[in-house]
Amino acid sequence: MQIIEVTEFWVRSAVIRLRHRESPLQFVIYPMIHMAEPEFYEAVTARLGKADVVVAEGVRGGGRRRSPLMGALMLSYTTLRFNRRMKLVKQDIDYRALGVPVINPDVTVEEFQDDWRKVPLGHRLVVWCILPAIALVRLFGGTQVIWSKSMEVNDLPSPEEEDQNDSVPPEVHVAFTGTRDDRLLAALYRLHEERGDEPIEVAVVYGAGHVAAIVEGLTTRLGYKARSADWLTVAVL
């Protein structure tokens, strides 16, 4: 199943609707990209206003500790807004203005930083060395460079992606996706348990890299199935 599609004409995100044959509750998953054309975020925002509950991604600030890595990651994305050829904007959905209850089960800055410190030092240094190069490519690169096939996301990894994943220590997966996926799925399971007998729509607004874990968790643990999907255009190439 394609989650993010990249062709020579456009980049699209698949909005996936999951249903359960014994529950009227529906989960609708919105795979997100940090930078996109403004029309993409406008379309997502319009749909979220019709949901009954929104579950949104976002590492929560907490205490006095800050994550330099998180700041660097966001900077590597937001440099795209200075690339005049791309005409992209940063995700700017105002969840408070939706008039819909919003749940944020994500980790705190402190929790992310604690997981990051467990990553072997050599791999942490590699990430810090790669980020400036990524930022420069996004700042000066053209459409075909930014929106390459490597940006595609599918529910099953390609053989190349499997090889890459095998070479990465498990602590990296825990820091970037593992703990955060666990928190998200726990919140979705709780919604099913508490409100599974209500005909409500739960919108899940998370990065595209988390979507495969969401679908797998809801399918294997609760029995939800992806019954339909439609496309929203992230960017026209």
Strand (E) or helix (H) holding 209: helix 208-217
pTM for this structure? 0.89
Distance CA 79, CA 71 (A): 12
Tokens of 93: 């959905």
Is 80 contained in some domain?
Answer: yes
Averaged confidence pLDDT in the chain: 90
Is 82 contained in some domain?
Answer: yes
pLDDT of 219 higher than 90: yes
pLDDT tens column, 76-98: 777 887 887 788 888 889 999 99
Is 155 contained in some domain?
Answer: yes
Q: How high is the pLDDT of residue 64?
A: 52
Q: How high is the pLDDT of residue 206?
A: 97
Distance CA 34, CA 145 (A): 17
Query: In which band, very low, low, confident or very high, does the pLDDT at 161 lie, cut at 50, 70 and 90?
Result: low
Ranked by mean pLDDT, the top range of 33-37, 74-78, 210-214 is 210-214
**Residues counted in the chain:** 237
Residue 59 belongs to what domain range?
2-15+27-236
Distance CA 51, CA 98 (A): 9
Place of tokens 């990651």: 73
Is 42 contained in some domain?
Answer: yes
Tokens of 201: 């729509």
Is 22 contained in some domain?
Answer: no
How many domains in the chain? 1
1, 154 contact by CB (below 8 A): yes
More confident residue, 158 or 228: 228
4, 208 contact by CB (below 8 A): yes
pLDDT tens column, 175-201: 889 999 999 999 999 999 999 999 999
Is 11 contained in some domain?
Answer: yes
Would you give the distance in Å from CA 7 to the centre of its chain? 20
